[in-house]
Structure 1
Amino acid sequence: MDAITIVGGGIAGLALAATLDPGRFHVTVHERRSTLPAVETSLAMWPEAQKALHTVGILPAIRAAGSGFEAMALRDVSGKAWLRAEVAGVIGVSRADLLRLLDSAVPESVTRVFGAVTSLPGSGLLVGADGVHSTVRRSRWGSRSAERLSPYLALRGIINEPVPEDTGGEYWGRGELFGIAPASRQRTYWYASYRSDLGPGGIDSAAALELTRRRFSGKAPGISRVLAGATPDGTLAQRIWTVPALGSDARAGAVLVGDAAHGMTPNLGRGACEALVDSATLAQLLNSRPLPQALAAYNKRRLLRSQALRVASSAMTRLVLAESTQPLRDGILGLAGRFSRTA
C-alpha cells in the first residue's frame, strides 16, 4: 500500500484521513494535541461543506448536533439594522462537535501519532494540514510562503444563554466588528475583531476580554449583554494570521489542505468549509487516480477557488474594519437598506 502522512489532526486532516481508501493507503496522522480545544467556538457549515460532510458520512450527526440559521442582520454598532437577509441551508455547529464527529469517522487502520513533528518523511505523500503556521508549507514551499501577521485581534466564545431577541447579526463600527449568532437553541456564539497590538502569541484572554468590553462600551445593548455573559475561560483571543498567494497547492510528493494552503481572514466564515471541501476533493482524487494525476487535478480544482476566497476575505476585512471611510460605507449601507425595504 502507498503511504500517506498527514501532518495536522484538525478539521482538514481528520476529514482527509476519514475519506481516504484504507484498502489502498497506509495513512498516518500526526497531531500535536490529543484533546479537543479547551474553548468552544462555532462554525457555519455552508452547502458545499455539507456535501463534504456527507462524503465523510457524518452529515446527519452534524445536523443533529448543530442549529440552523434563519436570517442575518447587518447593523451599525448602535444596533440599528441596515439590511436583513435570509440564510437558508446553513448549519451552525461547535468546533468541538465537528472535531469529535470527524475523529469518530477515522478508520482504526489509520495510525495516530501525538506530539510535535520533529522530522518530515522522505517517502510517500506528505499532506500539510497543519494550519496557517504550517511546517510542511514552510519546508516544501520555502520562506516566501511564511504566514503573515495582520494588525487585527479576533475574539470568539460561546455563552450559555439564547441569542437576545432582535440582536443577532453583525455590527460594523469604525474599525471594529461584533457578531452574535445562535450556537444552539439555548446558547449564543459571539465574535469580535479590531486593530490591536496585543500578542502576537500568548494573549491573555482576560485582558483581551476586558479590552473588548471597554471598546464596545455604550454601544448596542445586545453587545453589552453578550459581553457581560462572556468569561475568560470561555473566550479565545488570537491575532489573525494569513497565508500569501501560493503558485500551487500541490507539488511532487507534497500537498496542502485547509489553512495551510489558504489561511485567510475570518470575515467570510469560509475557512473550515474550504478545509472540508479540500479534503473531500483530494481524497476522491487520490482514491480514483494515480498520484501525479490526482495532485494535478486537485491543483486545478481547488487552487483558483480557494485563492479567490482568500482575496475576497481580505477585501471584506478592509470593508468591515474600515476607519477613515467608515462614514461613507455606512451611508451606502443605509441607502441600500432603505432601497431593499421599498423594492
Structure 2
Amino acid sequence: MGHGNDLDRGGGIAGLALAACLEPDRFQVTVYEKRPELPTVGTVLAMWPNAQRALARIGILGQARGVSPILGSGSIRNAAGEPWATVSGGELFGMSRVDLLTLLDRAVPGSVRRVTSHLRSLPPADGLVVGADGVHSLVRHQVWGAATDARATSCLAVRGTIPAPVNPDEVGEYWGRGDLFGIAASPGGTNWYASWRSGLGPNGIDVEEALGQARDRFAGHAPAISAVLAAAVPELSLAQRIWTTPPLRSYVRGTAVLAGDAAHAMMPNLGRGACESLVDAVTLADLLNSLPRGKALAAYNRQRWLRTRALSRASAVMMRVALAEGGQPVRDALLNLARRRKEPPAVGSGSSH
C-alpha cells in the first residue's frame, strides 16, 4: 500500500475503526465524511465477543464497557409476553451507537486527513480506496456497478430509547403475527426496536407517523410494549426501511475494497451488523499493516467473505421466522411445544394410588 494517497470513504463505524488502526507512519489516510458532526440519536448495539476483541485492538474496550450496560439474559416471547426460550448474554453489553462513534472518532490519529463532502463521484486516489460508506455505498456503485446497489426490503425498522429504566422481566423479543418488538437495557434507560412490513418509505419516513403506525400495530400485544410506545418520542426515535446489499462474489476489486454495510448490509435480527463492521476494519487494518497490499486484500477477502455471507443468510432466515404471517400459528405451536419439553415436571399434591 505504501505511502500513497489512501482513501477511506466513510466516517461510520467501519471507516473510523479502520482509520484508527492503520499505522500512521506507513499510510497517508484521508477519510471522506458526509457530515462533520456525530449523530445525536442512536439505538443500542449489542457488542458480541468478536466485536469486544476488535474494540480491545482499537484500545477503547474499557471505555466502551464503562458507558454501557451488561445486557444480561433475555427471552424470545410470544406477542402476549410469555417466554418461549431464555438466553443468557454472559458478558455481552449494549452500546449506544452515539457513544461508539464518539469513542472511535477520538481514537483516530490526528495525522488522518478529514474531508467533509457529499461526494457524487470518487475523488482521484493513487492508493487503496476503502468503501466503508454504508449500505448505499458510492464505492460499491462505481466500482462494482449499479447491479450491486442496495435493495429496499418490505420491512420497516423503528427504534428508539426512553429514559425509564428497563424491567428485567420484560427484556427480550416479542414475536407476533408479522411483527416483532424488542426491549433491552440502554445507558440511562430502555432501548426498544420494532419491525413489520410497511408501505412507509422507502425514503424520507416521518418518525412521528411511524410511531403512530407502531402504536396501532402493537395495540393488544404485551402491556410492556404499550408502555414503551406510550413513552416514545420522535426526538429519541429513528424510522427507516431496512435495506440490504446483494451478495457479492468478492469484497475486493482492483485497488478497491469494501467493509461494513457497504460489503454486507444484513437484516438486523442477529444483532451482528455493527459487530462485523468492527471486525472487518480491524482485520483489514492488521493485514495491511503487516503484508504487501495484494496479499493483504486477498487474505481479508478469504477471512471475511464466507463468514459475513453466512451471517447475512442466517439473519434473513431469522427475519422470515420472526415476521411469519401465514405460518405464524405453526411457528408458535412448535415453540410452545419446545418450551413445554424444557419445563420440569409438576409435583402433584393429590392422593396416590
What range describes the TM-score normalised by the shorter chain of this pair?
A: over 0.9
* CA-to-aligned-CA distance 1:146-194 (integer Å, 9 cap, x gap): 111100000010100111351110000010000000003x400000000
Structure 1 residue 183 and structure 2 residue 186: aligned?
yes
For the residues of structure 2 that align with 1:63 and 1:226, how far apart are their CA atoms? 25
Q: Secondary structure at the match of 2:314?
A: helix
Of 279, 287, 290 in structure 2, the residue corresponding to residue 288 of structure 1 is: 290
* Alignment map for 1:168-317 (pairs within 5 Å): 168-184=171-187, 186-317=188-319
For the residues of structure 1 that align with 2:246 and 2:120, how far apart are their CA atoms? 25
Of 324, 327, 330 in structure 2, the residue corresponding to residue 328 of structure 1 is: 330
Identify the residue that residue 150 of structure 1 maps to in structure 2. Answer: 153
Identify the residue that residue 64 of structure 1 maps to in structure 2. Answer: 66
For the residues of structure 2 that align with 1:38 and 1:61, how far apart are their CA atoms? 19
Partner amino acid, structure 1, of 2:242: I
Identify the residue that residue 142 of structure 2 maps to in structure 1. Answer: 139
Shift of 1:4: 1.6
| Maintained 8 Å contact 1:251/1:295 | no
Partner amino acid, structure 1, of 2:44: S
Of 11, 19, 22 in structure 2, the residue corresponding to residue 17 of structure 1 is: 19
Of 61, 86, 89 in structure 1, the residue corresponding to residue 88 of structure 2 is: 86
* CA-to-aligned-CA distance 1:202-229 (integer Å, 9 cap, x gap): 0000000001001111210100111111
Matched length: 342
Shift of 1:89: 1.8
Q: Secondary structure at the match of 2:194?
A: strand
Shift of 1:138: 0.8
| Maintained 8 Å contact 2:121/2:138 | no
| Maintained 8 Å contact 1:5/1:29 | yes
Partner amino acid, structure 2, of 1:132: V
| Maintained 8 Å contact 2:7/2:125 | no
For the residues of structure 1 that align with 2:37 and 2:339, how far apart are their CA atoms? 45
For the residues of structure 2 that align with 1:11 and 1:275, how far apart are their CA atoms? 7
Shift of 1:36: 1.7
Partner amino acid, structure 1, of 2:266: M
For the residues of structure 2 that align with 1:88 and 1:251, how far apart are their CA atoms? 39
For the residues of structure 2 that align with 1:144 and 1:10, how far apart are their CA atoms? 24
Identify the residue that residue 349 of structure 2 maps to in structure 1. Answer: none
For the residues of structure 1 that align with 2:12 and 2:77, how far apart are their CA atoms? 33
| Maintained 8 Å contact 1:2/1:24 | no
| Maintained 8 Å contact 1:158/1:189 | yes
For the residues of structure 1 that align with 2:320 and 2:269, how far apart are their CA atoms? 10
Shift of 1:83: 1.2
Identify the residue that residue 105 of structure 2 maps to in structure 1. Answer: 103
Shift of 1:337: 1.3
Partner amino acid, structure 2, of 1:217: A
Shift of 1:43: 0.4
Partner amino acid, structure 1, of 2:156: L
Partner amino acid, structure 1, of 2:32: H
Q: For structure 2, list consecutive stretches of 5 or more residues without a partner in the other structure.
A: 346-353
Shift of 1:2: 2.9
| Maintained 8 Å contact 2:135/2:245 | yes
Of 151, 169, 180 in structure 2, the residue corresponding to residue 166 of structure 1 is: 169
Shift of 1:40: 2.4
Coordinate RMSD, CA, aligned:
1.0
| Maintained 8 Å contact 2:120/2:138 | no
| Maintained 8 Å contact 1:9/1:130 | yes
* CA-to-aligned-CA distance 1:89-133 (integer Å, 9 cap, x gap): 211010000000000000000000012124312421000001000
* CA-to-aligned-CA distance 1:221-278 (integer Å, 9 cap, x gap): 1001111110011110000000011000112100000000000110110000000000
